[in-house]
Amino acid sequence: MALLDKIQDKTAKIGVIGLGYVGLPLAVEKAKAGYEVLGFDIQQEKVDKVNKGINYIGDVVTTELEDLVKNKKLSATSDYNRISECDTIALCVPTPLDKFKQPDLSFVINSTKEVTKRMKKDTLVVLESTTYPGTTEEVVLPILEERGFKVGQDFYLAFSPERVDPGNLIYKTKNTPKVVGGVTEKCSLHAKELYQRVLNAEVFVVSSPKEAEMSKILENSFRIVNIAFINEMAIVAKKMGINIWQVIDAAATKPFGFMPFYPGPGVGGHCIPIDPFYLTYKAREYDYHTRLIELAGEINDYMPEYVVERMMDVLNEDKKCMNGAKILMLGIAYKGDIDDMRESPALKVLEHLENKKADVKIHDPYVHTFTLKDKIYNTVPLTEEDLKEADIVVITTGHKKVDYDFVLKNAKLVFDTKNITKGLRNNYPNKVILL
């Protein structure tokens, strides 16, 4: 039976390589759609958890995972020889930057090599990992063709960028539109047919993998640039004695030509601080310097330091220094209501505070222990005693689980970098400092 027929009647066996924040939700949705799904991961711990129906990703519903495993629609393995069983394969592996902000494609390259060794003819391969425009055709395709297979005839290759927003209660993998770009028209057709049967959302086909790759870079570059702009506006507004949060609310009353962005202690997560710099890297091949993106990165990178500088100014006004000051941080995750700490600006704030010899405690209802620079940190419960002892309580993550009325009632001083005390702080005059 031809692959297209298998996809259409859901007899195709689906492979998903990488069972992290992108791969596991995708594997679950494909299994829920009626396909038999086999997940691959080099971390045996993840493999064992999936096979036991143990959930470790917030965006996956535990009962759904349990049912899929029980009904043998979803399983996992670390044995890459089983790639030969799969009719379609999604690559959902990390694409980090190194310390020089150069793309590290080692996970993509190594996974593609594993696929190439074992892939049978008439297989669909889809790269979902975010990377620079050209990766699918310049890096992945040549490896897949090493055995003499011809793309568009012997196998099909496409790029379809992941669109995962951890903690988003409205948009999940299932109902988020999907962009697809195949190397050939047949490649695009096979990928579109698969995703149409998995998602309850539009599958938007572009003319090549490069357009699909660039669309993902555009999405996140748009955000990093606008966040940097509002962060800079916040810094300037503070110097001028202007409340930036009121300014944003006022501007947002305009029903056209304005989209509100909000300042904060920096940007975090697996996408926004990283993805735009894939383009910066690739643009150099074309003798172009992406100055706006790089400047946006510099501004956002400065924000954790700016937060600590503001805290030092407040302490100085009270004739105290940061060395030995008692600081209670509220939040270490990169955004509210999740446990994800990847690239969290709160970690950078903590690092700056440690460098200044502050005495820091951290409360985060979603994170109980973590490691930074080889040091293990245990978060603490939110207590009246810790709040009253702290010279400054700094809100670095806007978790809704935190009782901010309790915080304001007991803290001496609160530095709210997220404006989450809005609606409460008028009851506690002179206790809250805004970014």
Active site (annotated) includes residue 271 = yes
Which residue among 86, 92, 187, 271 is the active-site one? 271
Instruction: Indicate the pairing of strand 178-182 with strand 203-206.
Output: parallel
Residue 226 makes CB contacts below 8 A (sequence gap 6+) with 259, 261
Instruction: Indicate the pairing of strand 178-182 with strand 155-159.
Output: antiparallel
CA 171, 172, 177, 181 dihedral sign is positive
> Over the chain, what HEC string results?
CCHHHHHHHCCCEEEEECCCCCHHHHHHHHHHCCCEEEEECCCHHHHHHHHCCCCCCCCCCHHHHHHHHHCCCEEEECCHHHHHHCCEEEECCCCCECCCCCECCHHHHHHHHHHHHHCCCCEEEEECCCCCCCHHHHHHHHHHCCCCCCECCCEEEEECCCCCCCCCCCCCCCCCCEEEEECCHHHHHHHHHHHHHHCCCCEEEECCHHHHHHHHHHHHHHHHHHHHHHHHHHHHHHHCCCCHHHHHHHHCCCCCCCCCCCCCCCCCCCCCCCCHHHHHHHHHHHCCCCHHHHHHHHHHHHHHHHHHHHHHHHHHHCCCCCCCCEEEEECCCCCCCCCCCCCCHHHHHHHHHHHCCCEEEEECCCCCEEEECCEEEECCCCCHHHHHHCCEEEECCCCCCCCHHHHHHHCCCEEECCCCCCCCHHHCCCCEEEC
168 CB neighbour count, 10 Å cutoff: 12
User: Could you give the residue numbers annotated as active site?
Assistant: 271
